[in-house]
Structure 1
Amino acid sequence: MKSRFVLLRVVMVLLALLLLLLVGDRLFPLPLQQVEPARVVVAEDGTPLWRFADRNGIWRYPVTVDDVSPYYLQALLTYEDRWFWHHPGVNPLAIFRAAWQDITGREIISGGSTLTMQVARLIDPQPRTFSGKLHQVWRALQLEWHLSKREILTLYLNRAPFGGTIEGIGAASWTWLGKPPSEMTRSEAALMAVLPQAPSRLRPDRWPLRAQAARNKVLQRMIDYQVWSSPHVEEIFAEPVWLAPRQMPELAPLLARRLIAQSPQQKVTSTIDASLQRQLEAMAQGWKNQLPPRTSMAVMVVDHTNMKVRAYIGSVDLNDDSRFGHVDMISSVRSPGSVLKPFVYGLAIDDGLIHAESLLQDVPRRFGDYRPGNFDTGFHGPVSASEALSRSLNLPAVQLLDAYGPKRLTAALRNVGLRLHFPTAVEPNLSLVLGGTGTRMDEIVAAYSAFARHGNAAQLRFLPEQQLEQRALMSPGAAWVIRRVLAGEAQPQPDGQLPAVVPLAWKTGTSYGYRDAWAVGINARYLIGVWVGRPDGTPVAGQYGNASAVPVMNQVSNLLMSSPRLRGSVLPADPRPPSVSVASICWPGGQTLPVGDTNCRQRRQSWIVNQTVPPTLLAPGQESLSGIQQPVWLNAQGKRVAADCRSARGQTVTLWPLPLEPWLPPGERRASRLPPIDTQCPPLRLGNAAPLLLSGVRDGQILRRLPGQPLLTVTASVQGGQGSQRWWFLNGDPLESQQGVMSRVLPFEKPGNYQLTVLDEGGQVASAAFTVR
């Protein structure tokens, strides 16, 4: 009976103790969630790029047990806690041994703390007193209660102090050894295992002899407990300990800031190639001294086979405030200059407006109030589509966009992720193809992937787990043709001579006022984006794409293609799609004509898509003027006659578009191309059927004199018409002399309404009413 009573009391005491433990656990939970996590962004191979410390300035590189070298785990557990996998958090034998050693030695010889107790001290620091020790024991028991051994070990791996602001074996390995903790050698593992005992006193860069002695102590214990064999360890004893001063990860800071803002994870793994990033950042530092003051630079490299972002330089120098180094120019909205032109040409091919050698008109034109010019301020007359794109001529691009539609282009680009930004209440207009809009480098580079991915524009992948997403922007044939044009391979070649691996294709851009200089390149494997300019938008005279951005792009491309990472690998090929073929076409009509046809004034070889050979694209208004196909009736002598004349036979003469006349040799102009007139039976309409066009001033225009200037000078000119004589009238009054001139300089002293009229020999009249203020 008495034994039962004793047993009952024991059970009650145990239950009370258990209840007390439960209550204590509820009242004083483990402070695991109270520690603000430090965060780190790493490259795809795990190399730290940039760290974001916690509020105390501590940074950690999160690791798991599987991420750490087995050598380190062996050294750590053998030296710190051999019975870690077996004790309940507290090792009584170790505590008694440590107490006896401390008493007999009259000094602290060993601590007796288990690894679990060290974790308890790390997560809930307490003073080194008897009560503090009891608190530590309590936390250790809680840890063993709530967590598994691997979880407790993981806490130690990520919280152990390694000196200064470094915590955890992951951060320590990268900082001291420059390698992931999984690659530690035995010697390094032994050093890292003992370093947390006195991080400041054992710093290997300052006190290498102390660090070596501590390491050797660990090595000796590994021999004593037969964890490592003597031959292995004896070799390590002779190795001196010397490590370079610790280095914090400082790569891709602006990308790290971007990714950390989008992800809640403690460790964010990016797609960056750490080696390439380091090389390009060094290259950017080299370019920094060659840039004008306050000018920055941005570079982006993307592997277009999988759309992984391999390098990201958002500014030339993060720490240079004079160059606004903290501003990420890759994600900033800037004027794209001419880098949107390839999309216009590719979509125009798909729309059946042009082929690669279509005749376009690089001539002065006005589109409403918009009058674009070329970068070199000149005009080149008749040009092919491929030449206009490769030379980045503005007027042909505007002509194409006018035919395709700016709203339609904007919608097509937005559908694949390239957003164009316009001022409030401003709709997409023709200026966008010359930089009259805003967009971002990362979206431009992503859209350019369409030329390397068979017409599909894919989204950038900043994280390895991101899925590859793409949408069709243009046909594979159009994308292939545009890429070949940009690579300098516009002229068709037989498949046997055409390289399957496309050389570097690129496009430049310069925004209005020399504010933004662009170069976007596509080589066999990578997309390269380069921007140079001032982040505050201040113009920099003489800064343009070819001079400022192209040299950087070429250097990046050469570095990529000569990189060891590509040695032995097969470069991606871009063979000619089945939809692309070669056609022999004729200017000025733009279509195929048989050999010997007199309307074939220039024969050219062109890439065509889907067997489509569109005629020459005419500008609005040119179609109503009989275009370039002029019907005539000829008699037996080959002279022009009326349609009802005897033996008249119909024929069509293909003429060059009228605005190209000044750039044509005399034998190709309308007066020479049309047969002479038979005076016995002349056609009802004499002349060359060329309309009389007045330029320099337009109907309804309001002209204003410059402040302080007494005169307003207007230069007016005419094209077309019949004969060599022109008569000029201002408000009905003939202008004196020089009736035959094709242009006049007119000074206006007084404000008022004016009408300028020009008359040719055939009676055609061209006029414009305007106002001078």
Structure 2
Amino acid sequence: MSVKIKQVSKLLIGDGIVFLLWCWFLLCLPSRLFVSPTSYVVEASNGALLNAAIASDGQWRFPAADSIPGKFAKCIIAFEDKRFYKHPGVDILAMARAMRQNYRAKGIVSGGSTLTMQTIRLSRRQDRTVAQKLLEILLAIRLEVRSSKQEILRLYAANAPFGSNVVGLEAAAWRYFGRSPQSLSWGEMATLAVLPNSPGLVHPGRNITRLITKRNNLLDQLAKLKIIDQATANLSKLEPVPGKPRPLPQNAPHLLNRFKTERASLKIPTTRIRSTLDEALQLKINSLLKRYNNRYRANDIDNIAALVLNVKNGTVMAYAGNIYQPENAALESHVDMIKAPRSPGSTLKPLLYASMLNDGLILPKTLIPDIPTQIGNYSPQNYDLGYDGAIAADRALSRSLNIPAVRLLQTYKYPRFYDQLKKLGFSTLNQPADHYGLSLILGGSEVTMWDLAKTYMGMARSLNHYNEYKGYYNPHDYDAPGYVQQKNIEKLEENELQRNSLLDNGSIWNTFNAMEELMRPGDEGLWEQFSSAQRLAWKTGTSFGFRDAWAIGLTPDYVVCVWVGNADGEGRPGLTGIDVAAPVLFDIFRQLPKGKWFETPKNKLKQLSICRQSGFKASEYCPDRVTELVPFAGEKTVVCPYHKVIHLDQSKTFRVTDQCISPANMVHQPWFILPPAMEYYYKIKHSDYKPLPPFRNGCGDTGNNYVMDMIYPKNNAAIYIPLEFDGKRGKVVFTATHKNADAQIYWHIDDEYVATTAHTHQLSLSPAPGKHTLTLVDNQGERFVQQFTILDREKH
């Protein structure tokens, strides 16, 4: 009995050992064979290499490709492992031959390792001993059980040494031949196939004779195996072998760096991406920006960036964060200006215009005051330092006038606009709304090119989708553009659509139409040159101090954003959006296919009777009306405040009242009447403007219809008078206007008479610090009173 127990015990122990050995065999290989860091690689949408960065361990090592070229597979198998497809990881015949050769040579002259064994050795990097060789044999067999022959070849090709700091076939092809492995010839591929055999000895640029001999022998072997014919082998032998390693393409360095920082959030497991960038377009834009940069550097303007988005797909087509010149550190070309927060200048004005249309605060052509303006200590100025008196909102946008924009924001309220920008996805508004105030609309904040282009792309996508979604809105239209190709794009479910959006399609359509009319002094020829090529909504911007020049344009298919300036924030004369950024914008659009303009979103617009002169909703007193397509919210706007009925005598020469004439004998006529300050400048640029007729003798003005007004300073203004160079206090130019061009105005400060003016009502005064009361009295006895304060020191 005891003997049987012992036999059973021995069997159990033997089975247990076998089981443990089998478990070890199954688990001896890690799930991931190679853990070395790999290079970051960015490919274009067509698979072409745009950029690569050396791995963190100083090696050029690309992530393993999905497949390897057939030429390399044939070359490496012919050179290293002729029976690769027949053995289970170990070639007994090759090992026997190697042992015989080593015995005869009394040293190691042949290893007999298969490609599978070499792959195991590359992953382990252990000393070459007999014990390690036996372990490699076991691990190679295990690898063959786990992986297909193609997978083993792929692992080998990605991790084999190719001399110097080049690891893997793909990195070697680019470093030695400047092309992808798929495009190499038989001679070039044979050269690479012989390198892993002795990478420390055979290095391109050294030992050329031995390299050529090995390559030629391999070519003859390929011919012998009937893989290629002898003529091809002989021609391939004439090809030169590479010299020193070549630099890899650096055509999208800033996108590569962006991918490095965002890889974790994108949840991409590999360091290689197939991007959405169009290779041809990226190269054209790189060349175009370099050409403009060479021109602008004569004015010490060192940096330029451009971003092109595909509206239909919501993807990035070209990403040039700067002119890449790493050899000149002073240019700071490493800074990605697409991500850098900068002052947006006037590029936010269309967003305010669209928001006010959306909320029913204005109509597309509503007249906006354009007169000298002071709000607290803030006095905005137009680019041309002039005034229109009153200007249509769309025209103010197309001319990028600052004063109307500030007055619109004053109506809309800057905290409300601040919240709107946050909702639209502007990520750099890090201060509270009060920090920016009304300057928010003139570039008083910071934005990134990425956020700016993303917002305009969202507007264009929303307008493109108006018909597709039957009046509903896609909540993902304003999502950030993607730069990584996605194989499976999730389809939007119908229940995800929304009834409302941040901006309705009618407001967006009106805004883009206004932007299409963009015109600035001096750019007429530029616009005419472009307008025949393609319809384009565009906007320029210039930051305070000429530090940032912007141009952004869009069509239903593309959004292009351009920034020009200095990365360190230094301003330069002439650094304006219209002068340096707009020409680049137009040149980029010339590289893009032409398309149709936006369709009119009729289901988001309504026809409204508009007063032609004022742009407001027509009142009963507006004689000249037009019908326009406006957003539904336009119905909420006020009726025209500038058309009133006046009473004239029978000759229509004088105004009259019932004090001097019977109402039955009056002619009642509607009249376009602007407030005096607006009229003062408006009539200079509008010769057809008709001032109010004077009152007939004996008839008084009972309504004071804006007889007098102050142009500067406005009521309750706080004014600082700086010292002149001689140390004396300067003066303030007070400006008033009067309906009657022949009227005289008597000026009083704190009830003390100062002076009398006629025709042109301006006075240079230097009141003492403190609060004062200004009183104007005309020769008809009409009075105008307001307050102002002279500051003792400048407020900050």
> Structure 1-normalised TM-score?
0.83
Structure 1 164/7 Cα, relative in aligned 2: closer, same or farther at 3 Å?
farther
3-state secondary structure, aligned to 1:429: helix
Aligned to 1:485: 514
Q: Distance in 2 between matches of 1:201 and 1:80?
A: 17
Matched, 1:654 2:672: yes
Alpha-carbon offset, residue 321 of structure 1: 2.0
Matched, 1:280 2:312: no
Matched, 1:508 2:537: no
Q: Distance in 2 between matches of 1:407 and 1:752?
A: 31
Structure 1 651/524 Cα, relative in aligned 2: closer, same or farther at 3 Å?
closer
Judge conservation of contact 1:359–1:617 (CA < 8 Å) in 2: no
Q: Distance in 2 between matches of 1:734 and 1:337?
A: 44
Read off the aligned partner of 1:441 and give its amino acid letter.
M
Q: How many residue pairs were aligned?
A: 739
Alpha-carbon offset, residue 611 of structure 1: 10
Alpha-carbon offset, residue 157 of structure 1: 1.9
Alpha-carbon offset, residue 22 of structure 1: 5.3
Structure 1 372/668 Cα, relative in aligned 2: closer, same or farther at 3 Å?
closer
Judge conservation of contact 2:75–2:190 (CA < 8 Å) in 1: yes
Aligned to 1:767: 786
Alpha-carbon offset, residue 746 of structure 1: 0.9
Q: Deviations over 1:312-358 (max 9, x none)?
A: 22222351321222322211111100011111222333333444433
Structure 1 501/634 Cα, relative in aligned 2: closer, same or farther at 3 Å?
same
Aligned to 2:49: 48
With 163-172 and 212-221 compared, the bigger mean Cα shift is at 212-221
Q: Deviations over 1:188-223 (max 9, x none)?
A: 443333232234655556666654443333333334
Aligned to 1:430: 438
Judge conservation of contact 1:666–1:672 (CA < 8 Å) in 2: no
Q: Distance in 2 between matches of 1:477 and 1:737?
A: 52
Read off the aligned partner of 1:194 and give its amino acid letter.
V
With 516-525 and 430-439 compared, the bigger mean Cα shift is at 516-525
Q: Deviations over 1:89-133 (max 9, x none)?
A: 322221111222333466755321111211122112233444553
Alpha-carbon offset, residue 304 of structure 1: 1.9
Q: Deviations over 1:486-512 (max 9, x none)?
A: 33389xxxxxxxx99943432111111
Q: Distance in 2 between matches of 1:67 and 1:330?
A: 35
Q: Deviations over 1:8-33 (max 9, x none)?
A: 98997786476467569979979836
With 18-27 and 731-740 compared, the bigger mean Cα shift is at 18-27
Q: Distance in 2 between matches of 1:500 and 1:745?
A: 50
The one of 261, 268, 276 aligned to 1:271 = 276
Judge conservation of contact 1:176–1:243 (CA < 8 Å) in 2: yes
Structure 1 293/16 Cα, relative in aligned 2: closer, same or farther at 3 Å?
same
Read off the aligned partner of 1:766 and give its amino acid letter.
V
Aligned to 1:240: 239
Structure 1 669/69 Cα, relative in aligned 2: closer, same or farther at 3 Å?
closer
1:438-449 equivalent positions in 2, closer than 5 A: 438-449=446-457
Matched, 1:717 2:735: yes
Structure 1 763/122 Cα, relative in aligned 2: closer, same or farther at 3 Å?
same
With 506-515 and 317-326 compared, the bigger mean Cα shift is at 317-326
RMSD over aligned Cα atoms: 4.1
Judge conservation of contact 1:517–1:532 (CA < 8 Å) in 2: yes
Judge conservation of contact 2:75–2:222 (CA < 8 Å) in 1: yes
Aligned to 1:344: 352
Alpha-carbon offset, residue 735 of structure 1: 1.8
Structure 1 187/514 Cα, relative in aligned 2: closer, same or farther at 3 Å?
same
Aligned to 1:133: 133
Q: Distance in 2 between matches of 1:694 and 1:517?
A: 32
Aligned to 2:472: none
Q: Distance in 2 between matches of 1:740 and 1:487?
A: 40
3-state secondary structure, aligned to 2:33: helix
Q: Deviations over 1:231-266 (max 9, x none)?
A: 784575465244575332323222212212222423
Judge conservation of contact 2:748–2:776 (CA < 8 Å) in 1: yes
Structure 1 174/136 Cα, relative in aligned 2: closer, same or farther at 3 Å?
same
Structure 1 539/605 Cα, relative in aligned 2: closer, same or farther at 3 Å?
farther
With 266-275 and 646-655 compared, the bigger mean Cα shift is at 646-655
1:450-461 equivalent positions in 2, closer than 5 A: 450-455=458-463, 456-461=477-482
Q: Distance in 2 between matches of 1:617 and 1:213?
A: 91
3-state secondary structure, aligned to 2:304: strand
Judge conservation of contact 1:97–1:112 (CA < 8 Å) in 2: yes
Matched, 1:734 2:753: yes
Q: Distance in 2 between matches of 1:332 and 1:705?
A: 36
Aligned to 1:262: 262
Read off the aligned partner of 1:193 and give its amino acid letter.
A
Alpha-carbon offset, residue 655 of structure 1: 1.3
Q: Deviations over 1:134-178 (max 9, x none)?
A: 454354345446555444333212101112222112222333344
Aligned to 2:522: none
Read off the aligned partner of 2:60 and give its amino acid letter.
W
Q: Deviations over 1:510-562 (max 9, x none)?
A: 1111111111122564322111222222332331112222232233233x23x
Alpha-carbon offset, residue 598 of structure 1: 9.7
Q: Distance in 1 between matches of 2:432 and 2:518?
A: 41
The one of 569, 575, 597 aligned to 1:543 = 575
Read off the aligned partner of 1:685 and give its amino acid letter.
T
Q: Distance in 1 between matches of 2:786 and 2:10?
A: 119
Alpha-carbon offset, residue 483 of structure 1: 2.6
3-state secondary structure, aligned to 1:448: helix
Aligned to 1:629: 643
Aligned to 1:706: 723
Alpha-carbon offset, residue 759 of structure 1: 1.2
Judge conservation of contact 1:725–1:740 (CA < 8 Å) in 2: yes
Read off the aligned partner of 1:574 and give its amino acid letter.
F
1:275-354 equivalent positions in 2, closer than 5 A: 275-289=280-294, 290-291=296-297, 292-293=299-300, 295-319=302-326, 320-354=328-362
3-state secondary structure, aligned to 1:745: strand
Aligned to 1:158: 158
Q: Distance in 1 between matches of 2:259 and 2:224?
A: 48
1:352-367 equivalent positions in 2, closer than 5 A: 352-367=360-375
Aligned to 2:483: 462
Aligned to 2:196: 196
Q: Distance in 1 between matches of 2:120 and 2:688?
A: 95
1:2-41 equivalent positions in 2, closer than 5 A: 16=17, 19=20, 32=33, 35-41=36-42
Q: Distance in 1 between matches of 2:786 and 2:147?
A: 92
With 277-286 and 253-262 compared, the bigger mean Cα shift is at 277-286
Q: Distance in 2 between matches of 1:573 and 1:676?
A: 50
Q: Distance in 1 between matches of 2:63 and 2:274?
A: 11
Structure 1 730/615 Cα, relative in aligned 2: closer, same or farther at 3 Å?
same
Alpha-carbon offset, residue 303 of structure 1: 1.8
Judge conservation of contact 2:552–2:585 (CA < 8 Å) in 1: yes
Q: Distance in 1 between matches of 2:302 and 2:75?
A: 52
Q: Distance in 2 between matches of 1:671 and 1:281?
A: 51
Give the unaligned 5+ runs of structure 1. 491-498, 619-626
Judge conservation of contact 1:336–1:438 (CA < 8 Å) in 2: yes
1:85-124 equivalent positions in 2, closer than 5 A: 85-104=85-104, 110-124=110-124
Q: Distance in 1 between matches of 2:746 and 2:224?
A: 114
Q: Deviations over 1:603-648 (max 9, x none)?
A: 8896645595887899xxxxxxxx4233434565555444584416
Judge conservation of contact 1:422–1:428 (CA < 8 Å) in 2: no
Q: Distance in 2 between matches of 1:294 and 1:300?
A: 19
With 349-358 and 603-612 compared, the bigger mean Cα shift is at 603-612
Alpha-carbon offset, residue 772 of structure 1: 5.0
Q: Deviations over 1:641-667 (max 9, x none)?
A: 445844166554231343222234489
Read off the aligned partner of 1:302 and give its amino acid letter.
L
Q: Distance in 2 between matches of 1:592 and 1:698?
A: 29
Q: Distance in 1 between matches of 2:595 and 2:67?
A: 33
